[in-house]
Structure 1
Amino acid sequence: MNFKRITHCLLLLPTLVVFSQTSFHSESHQVTLADIKTNTFERDTTANAVIIYEHGKSWVHPGTYKLMTNEIRKIKILKKEGFGQATVKLFLHKKSGNDYQKVENIVGTTYNMVDGNVVKSKLNKEDIFEEDYNENYNLVTFTLPNLKEGSVISYSYTLTTPQYLMWNYKGWDFQHKIPTLYSEYETSIPGNWEYNIKLVGGKKLAVNTVDVKNDCLEIPAVGKANCLESVYAMKDIPAFIEEDYMTTEDNYLARVEYELKTFRGFDGIVTNYTKEWRDVDKELKTDPNIGKQLSKSIKLEDILPLNLINSINSKENATLIYEHIQQNYIWNEKLEIFKNVSVKDLIKDKSGNVGSINILLHNTLNEKGYNVKPLLISTRQNGHPTTIYPIISDFNYLVVHLSIDGETYLLDATDKYLSFDEIPFRCLNQYGRLLDFNSGSDWYDIVPKKSDVLYEAKLHIDNNGDIVGDIVSKRTGYHAYNHRKSYFSNASAYIENLHNNAAFIDISNHNTIESSPTTPVFQEQYHVEYQGEETGDNIYLNPFFVKFFSENPFKLQERSYPIDFGYQDSYYYTLKLDLGGQYEILEKPKPLVTSLPNKAGMLFYSSSTFDNELSLTFRIDFKEAVYAPEYYPYLKKFMNKIVDAQNNSLILLKKK
């Protein structure tokens, strides 16, 4: 039986096959009694549904030369929370005229076990809806009927994609928000189209075969083409669940992607779509939003005060120029670098997008004689840019690279609370492309400085048995930025939040120490009063008046993608408690020293007494900005110890 006939059966005749097995049948689309009767998934007990089997096949139609794709899925619904898997949304490209993407042959069936019998409920055509979603897409939606816990759903459809969209051959996601037992994708690509094929997500293929089929595509009286036929498959793919400390899921979802490299027409004309970086550099140099704007000369007197124009070039004066641009031009919240970039309009309107503001900063420093270059970045939510070949659309941000006396600095003037040599957290995406239209562009590692949090508490017990004293805190790096922005944008709300986060502690006399909206260090001090829990002549005291982590952010059974903090950081807490002549220590926390594998992190906790004063030290070091997934179980245990130490440490004091 040929493939077309098999496909026809897949689409039109979903059948029920009885096997003696007692687990899910992940070898085909056919629904078995085992699929219906099996109502648990021991590998992931949190899963509310499981994709038992999915299959896709894409090929170029020999008559219309359009890209055809058949997709079929079989899904087990385990819990009510999984009912959403029965609603399918297909976003279809649209274009004026009849040349648009469309979906046909939508077939769906729900299988339920009722009183020992299998009941099938078919999807009706009137339950398939199409709407005009936006200027670029139509939306087709359908929901499988008669859903219950334990249902098995099966659906299939055929996508038709016009030839003008074949610059991006149909990719395939092997991983989803629910576990997948088997996912397979077959492709047939005529030799006219040559693609860069990229496997994303770091998971291994269970099937990876490639073959050549001769004369698979023919245009009468014009020519024939051979096809590259591939089969890719993965098995037992865990659900992708978002968790704290990650960039966009697009960096990690297991999938195969296609980017058109070359098209060879039967007329002999060859069109190259993927080029070398030297070709892209030439294009960017003449691009109206990048190269043309970067080369615009400006009058310094239109931008800077006279004292900065006449200043000698130095880091200090570069800082003053940066702060002047930062404070006098407002970012309009748009991440545009390839459209609507205009230095001229920015100077006139005092407001503009990322490209306009940071190119103005670049041009001002360049006009003043500083060594500056633009750095193209893809933000954390935009995904990692591809490094094996240039895809300029991967980038959506631009900052300024400044070199002074052998030192380099990255600058971004869009945020009034950033300090010199600090770019927004959204830009901490490991690397960018440093443009140099004379010598050629190159990749540049983004390595932020370490960020620290330090608390120093000096307390004593007063005559009423209350603990009173002062807490001083110091933050650097992104920890400083976050508090600096919060405080200087709304000081009263900041202090109110400080009170709310310390429900059992009275806070007063708050003040900042040598801090401003852009200083790299944020320091504050406040007075605290706390009444310990008395039991007779004893006081039970939790020594952590400040907690770095109230709960463990890592809750997954396993995590298949990196733990991306963005930067290295440390947390340091010291307490000195003067017991006076009234109390003595009966019990204090046990010391704790632990570390992550390869000394990638450290937790240190100790206490001592001298001259009737308790000294406590608590330190956490995360020595990597990004941890590989293999570290996840260790980080999870590590964080459990941190939270447990802060929440469950007790000091027992007894009156003398």
Structure 2
Amino acid sequence: MKKTTLILVLHILVFFHSHSQTTSQFNSESYRVTLPDIKATSFDKDSTANALIIYQHGKSWVNPADYKLKTKEQHKLKILKKEGFENATVKIYTYKKDNNTYEKVQDIIATTYNFENGNVVKSELRKKDIFKEEYNENFDVVKFTLPNVKEGSVITYSYTITSPFMFKYKGWEFQHDIPTLYSEYQTSIPGNWIYNIKLVGGKKLSTNTADLKRNCLEGPRGGSASCLESIYAMKDIPAFIEEDYMTTEDNYLARVEYELKTFTDFEGNATNYTKEWKDVDKELKTDQNIGKQLFKSIKLEDLLDAELINSPTTLEKAQAIYKFVQDNYTWNEKFRIFKDVSVKDLIKKKTGNVSSINILLHNILKESGYDVKPLMISTRQNGHPTKIYPVISDFNYLIVHVKIDDKDYLLDATDKYLSFGELPFRCLNQYGRLLNFNDGSEWYDIIPKKSDIFYSADLKIDDNLNVVGTIKSRITGQHAYDYRKSYFTNETTYVEKLENKSDDIIISDFETLESSKTNPVFKEKYTIEYAAEDTGDNIYLNPFFVTFFTENPFKLQERSYPIDFGYKDSYYYNVKLDFGDKYELVEKPKPIIVNLPNKEGKVFFFSTLKENSIILSLRIDFKQAVYPPEYYPYLKDFMKKVVDIQTNTVVLLKKK
């Protein structure tokens, strides 16, 4: 569940003031709405914005009367265009333990300000337009939509959340999907509660102060506590815009988070909540869903045939065990790493969650004599687990690590199309925690194999001026998984999609070579026929009958978060075109070489003329799985050149 009090879903339009190049000054210093706030029509610092957070302020403190956590929030937004109207619908998610212990939202006040016929018109939210409903088993949601919202409206809303959960001290998001002029968060934390405080997103605070206020909270029998009062603020925060090749936005949104470390009552009794990994390892060892399931003994004779049981502990045997689990047990699409994990139920029902399936695989391998351990990870959409201190809730997935002949393999038996030693893309999230209940757990880097796509085409121009010939491919790694799954899920649909990529190309005699649902290499072969563009004595054609990138995926002016491909990869395209003795080449395409900084990527395109044939070769290399943000402008230009080569390369032939 994403911990935020405001869901901002935004689309973007350009709108300039008709008489001035400068935007009216917004009052970003307070919650008070001013006439310039209302009359402004655009935001010059981001001409694409259709809404803007002018001011937001939060304050959290412990109520001395009942020791409950109070948080008061104030938000002031400008609606620039109708595409920004969605920001007028506010959703406040509140945590609950049960029907008697939950967070409450109170004192909701919301107002819309419009400038009509020379006057400021205020529209107030009515109480009957505030709704509360169950979101899921852990959260409720309070929703309301501000009234009379138009282009140019300023909306304000404030509310107070009362929470009995001091372990969930309120975090604060400075960055959203629209620009923010000013965001401030004030906190008051009594010394009884010690939190690990983490600033996420890499953006700098404009204000970061801390003061000690003595005797802010009184306890029984004259006890008292001092409070650490902090102010965090950011200014001129750009909108966070999602783009291809990234993990979850929660890894990068600028925000402050709290994790309860220690609570000490007024009697001096301390309870540690954030533990060291050695303590967590002990807890996991006895956990009903992890440790106890990992130590479940397996009767191999009840599952495997005698020949497999009695075979040597080789790589081939491990592959056979993996295939047995993969083929006989079905993933129910639930992760549930710490909940409803049961090897016994899985064996009986033949279906279960991620942990059940992979723990069964772990236990069979262990019983068969392999050096095997569980690896807890966080999926790409769940965010990176923190390495600063143990946070078990950061993990949502479990896979298997096995060492065979001094080589490490990572296994996940939930997917029928994975090859041995291959992980699904969702698991390629850089690192995980390798559990070892004897020697202690440790961080483990997830380094996927390099993936390659190679296409070769052997073509000629026939007597009817058609380009005909054969295309072959050889695909490995994660790319091969995508091709395998697409093809073996529905072979007919796969070929139809291949044909539909171009209306001018006819495909026939399609076949796969040495391919299966789990073969790490996918090979295919097919024949094409293409009617070249004939203009009198000349023939024009683009020789790229296979394209890797049809458009540049990088469109932002700048990007503040990494470019995460998940794995290193390369693309190859080699085509030989025999134009016979009736035509001659007018001009060879010019060679192109483009390198990323530090040689971390390369585009290489060249052509060779040999008798009556032209040979063209394109190679694209990405030598890193993850590139830091400073590479973004170079990658953007890099991909522009790649797309240009594939779409604008023309071979011109003329009659002799």
> Aligned residue for 1:10?
none
Report the AA paired with residue 544 of structure 2: F
> Aligned residue for 1:7?
none
Q: Deviations over 1:401-455 (max 9, x none)?
A: 1111211110111111101110111100000000000000000000001001000
Cα distance in 1 for partners of 2:95, 2:322 equals: 43
> Aligned residue for 2:30?
28
> Aligned residue for 1:314?
314
Q: Is the 8 A contact 1:222 1:266 kept in 2?
A: no
- Structure 2: segments with no counterpart, 5+ residues: 1-21
CA RMSD, Structure 1 to Structure 2 (Å): 1.5
Does residue 129 (structure 1) correspond to residue 131 (structure 2)? The answer is yes
> Aligned residue for 2:201?
201
Cα distance in 2 for partners of 1:222, 1:524 equals: 80
Does residue 399 (structure 1) correspond to residue 399 (structure 2)? The answer is yes
Cα separation, partners in 2 of 1:166 and 1:240, compared to 1, 3 Å = same
Does residue 526 (structure 1) correspond to residue 526 (structure 2)? The answer is yes
Cα distance in 1 for partners of 2:99, 2:382 equals: 32
- Structure 1: segments with no counterpart, 5+ residues: 1-19
> Aligned residue for 1:159?
161
Superposed counterparts of 1:20-59, under 5 Å: 22-59=24-61
Following superposition, the deviation at residue 278 of structure 1 comes to: 0.2
Cα distance in 2 for partners of 1:442, 1:337 equals: 18
Report the AA paired with residue 235 of structure 2: K
Q: Is the 8 A contact 1:452 1:476 kept in 2?
A: yes
> Aligned residue for 2:13?
none
Following superposition, the deviation at residue 369 of structure 1 comes to: 0.8
> Aligned residue for 1:419?
419
Cα distance in 1 for partners of 2:109, 2:558 equals: 35
Cα distance in 2 for partners of 1:645, 1:97 equals: 62
Does residue 75 (structure 1) correspond to residue 77 (structure 2)? The answer is yes
Report the AA paired with residue 181 of structure 1: L
Following superposition, the deviation at residue 530 of structure 1 comes to: 0.5
Cα distance in 1 for partners of 2:352, 2:94 equals: 33
Cα distance in 1 for partners of 2:604, 2:98 equals: 65
Cα separation, partners in 2 of 1:478 and 1:98, compared to 1, 3 Å = closer
Following superposition, the deviation at residue 133 of structure 1 comes to: 3.9
Does residue 548 (structure 1) correspond to residue 548 (structure 2)? The answer is yes
Does residue 104 (structure 1) correspond to residue 103 (structure 2)? The answer is no
Q: Deviations over 1:526-546 (max 9, x none)?
A: 000111111001111001000
Report the AA paired with residue 127 of structure 1: D
Cα distance in 1 for partners of 2:191, 2:89 equals: 37
Report the AA paired with residue 483 of structure 1: Y
- Of residues 318-327 and 502-511 in structure 1, the stretch that sits farther from structure 2 once superposed is 318-327
Cα distance in 2 for partners of 1:278, 1:95 equals: 28
Q: Is the 8 A contact 2:457 2:575 kept in 1?
A: yes
Cα distance in 1 for partners of 2:350, 2:220 equals: 61
> Aligned residue for 2:215?
215
Following superposition, the deviation at residue 98 of structure 1 comes to: 5.0
Q: Is the 8 A contact 2:23 2:40 kept in 1?
A: no
Report the AA paired with residue 365 of structure 1: L
Following superposition, the deviation at residue 21 of structure 1 comes to: 9.7
Q: Is the 8 A contact 2:578 2:614 kept in 1?
A: yes
Q: Is the 8 A contact 1:91 1:137 kept in 2?
A: yes
Cα distance in 2 for partners of 1:620, 1:301 equals: 50
Cα distance in 2 for partners of 1:94, 1:447 equals: 39
Following superposition, the deviation at residue 148 of structure 1 comes to: 1.5
SS at match of 1:347: helix
TM (norm. structure 2) is 0.95
Q: Is the 8 A contact 1:588 1:650 kept in 2?
A: no
Q: Deviations over 1:79-135 (max 9, x none)?
A: 101111111111223455654311222112222222333222222223222334444
> Aligned residue for 1:409?
409
Report the AA paired with residue 183 of structure 2: S
SS at match of 1:587: coil
Q: Deviations over 1:336-368 (max 9, x none)?
A: 221111112222222221111111111111111
Report the AA paired with residue 71 of structure 1: E
Q: Is the 8 A contact 1:206 1:233 kept in 2?
A: yes
Cα distance in 1 for partners of 2:495, 2:58 equals: 56
Q: Would you identify which runs of 4 or more consecutive aligned residues in structure 1 move more than 6 Å?
A: none
Superposed counterparts of 1:106-121, under 5 Å: 106-121=108-123
SS at match of 1:167: helix
- Of residues 98-107 and 246-255 in structure 1, the stretch that sits farther from structure 2 once superposed is 98-107
Q: Is the 8 A contact 2:550 2:643 kept in 1?
A: yes
Does residue 381 (structure 1) correspond to residue 396 (structure 2)? The answer is no
Superposed counterparts of 1:235-384, under 5 Å: 235-384=235-384
Cα distance in 2 for partners of 1:587, 1:121 equals: 70
Cα separation, partners in 2 of 1:95 and 1:168, compared to 1, 3 Å = closer
> Aligned residue for 1:476?
476
Report the AA paired with residue 449 of structure 1: K
Cα distance in 1 for partners of 2:138, 2:320 equals: 45
Following superposition, the deviation at residue 155 of structure 1 comes to: 1.4
Cα distance in 1 for partners of 2:612, 2:352 equals: 61
> Aligned residue for 1:224?
224
